[in-house]
Amino acid sequence: MKPPVVLYDTTLRDGTQAEDFALSLEDKIRIALKLDEFGIHYIEGGWPESNPKDYLFFREIKNYDLKNAVITAFGSTHHPMNSAESDKNLRGLVDAGTKAVTIFGKSWTVHVKEALKISLERNLRIIYDSVAYLNQHVPEVIYDAEHFFDGFKEDKDYALATIEQAYKAGASTIVLCDTNGGSLPSEIGEIIEETRKRFPDVRLGIHAHNDSDLAVANTLEAVRKGVTHVQGTINGVGERCGNANLCSIIPNLCLKLNIPCLPLSNLRKLRHISRFVLELANIPPNKYQPFVGRSAFAHKGGVHVSAVEKNPRTYEHIDPELVGNKRRILVSELSGKTTIRLKADEFGLRFSKDDPIARDVLEKIKQLELEGFQFEAAEASLELLIKRAMGETKRYFQLLGFRVIDQKQEDGDAPVAEATIQIRVGGQVEHTAALGQGPVNALDNALRKALERFYPQIKEMELVDYKVRVLPGRHGTASRVRVLIESSDGRDTWGTVGVSHDIIEASWQALVDSITYKLYKDEQKMVENK
């Protein structure tokens, strides 16, 4: 029995048309398996006749036992110069061996006359023959009425005639496509109402693009008007401005419209699915993305934080855990004492909001942010700051001095960076040097080299991201810079920050915090395990 609304994911096909978004064959298989586990009903694997990778996908996916999803092959109606029976594209769809096939055809007279350069009558025949041919060989045929809404606005009768041909030929679902992404929700609703009056028994779907930033809104409006088949992509990836974002559509359907398109327990996997797809495509996540973004439930203003502590509903439209996300309390110059206490609680450090430590930390943070520090992406530095205020920090090493030389001898030659450093650990002094790809990398290498004899666990950690931002001011090349470093030891990831007029000094501050946090974290784990 099908749910009230079925979810059709086209990340593996339409999503890969996005700029800078590419998936290997192995990536596509892994994503398909993850989408099946999530509970997606249809997974569009690609266009088997368009490229070898998609062809191999359909062959490879047969080796896996999917529990929830129907794998779907995608293609077009047959070429105007061919018949359905002789068309290589349609044969390729049949040969893909999927239980469902989706093809698109032209609904807009502009495309029929100017793109295909055929008569309107010939286009209707192509649609009918293509669907009828596939219907003889494949258990289910889904028809995408490309540019349907634009076609409807220009020639309503012809647009409706195209989907009538697909329905008569045996298509199980007619998907109405806002291919150019230019329609408004009110237009979507009105056109669907008129279409449903003409075809009351047809199962309708929606496929929206996001060129007007309305793909999610248009999809939800279509569902409100009776559409029961929803197409989209994870994170809204797709050509131009993207497709309708399933990471927003699914929770809105389940939690706002009370349409259980998948089990609520599965909904808790939503953020993981979002990050999984981006990770395989090597695309940085959008922290501001609704529902699944890192900032979706982040609170920075002191008034907001105080209210959320009393009742999360004051500034959260849903419980973040329902979509696998979590509430985050950010610390900045906008923070109050409640923010500091809640942030300390996250770190396992206990004190009341009236504790003088909270006031001292708050004043320190405000002063540092005035100087250019920011702690939203540098929570390791923030945690160390709070621990220092509480008198709980340990000094793992002391700098006695460093020198960095960046030498370039001739044009065309790469500069050579060398750092020399002297530190004290306990009663022992270590003096060493190292080369690097630039002065900061050389300094990082020299510091690690000096410390690894005392703290061998430093070998586990690596710098995974390094960002420099010139802070606003009128100092030109003497401007202050903020350095953000992200580090990882394979188990945890943490961020640290440094600010200075000198980029090497700012980098040093962030590097010291990064290594200090690693040593502190490991020490805490050893205490907990005893």
Separation between Cα atoms, residue 150 and residue 109, nearest integer Å: 9
pLDDT of residue 344: 60
Residues 6+ apart with CB under 8 A from 325: 271, 291, 292, 293, 296, 297
Kindly state the tokens that stand for 513: 């915090």
Separation between Cα atoms, residue 436 and residue 350, nearest integer Å: 41
**356-371 and 379-389 helices cross at what angle (nearest 10)?**
140
pLDDT of residue 473: 64
Separation between Cα atoms, residue 505 and residue 439, nearest integer Å: 11
Separation between Cα atoms, residue 193 and residue 197, nearest integer Å: 6
Burial class (CB in 10 A: 0-12, 13-18, 19+), 367: exposed
Supply angle C-alpha 495, 499, 505, rounded to 5.
100
pLDDT of residue 331: 61
Distances in whole angstroms, Cα of residue 287 to Cα of each of 165, 298, 420: 45, 10, 38
Helices (H), 347-498: 356-371, 379-389, 439-451
Q: What residues of the chain score a pLDDT lower than 70?
A: 1-2, 301-302, 330-355, 376-377, 392-393, 473-478, 530
Q: Tell me if residue 494 falls in helix, strand or coil.
A: strand
pLDDT of residue 476: 59
pLDDT of residue 196: 96
Domains, the chain, in order of start with CATH, read 6-262 (3.20.20.70), 298-389 (no CATH)
pLDDT of residue 412: 76
Separation between Cα atoms, residue 378 and residue 487, nearest integer Å: 10
Residues 171, 206: contact at Cβ < 8 Å? no
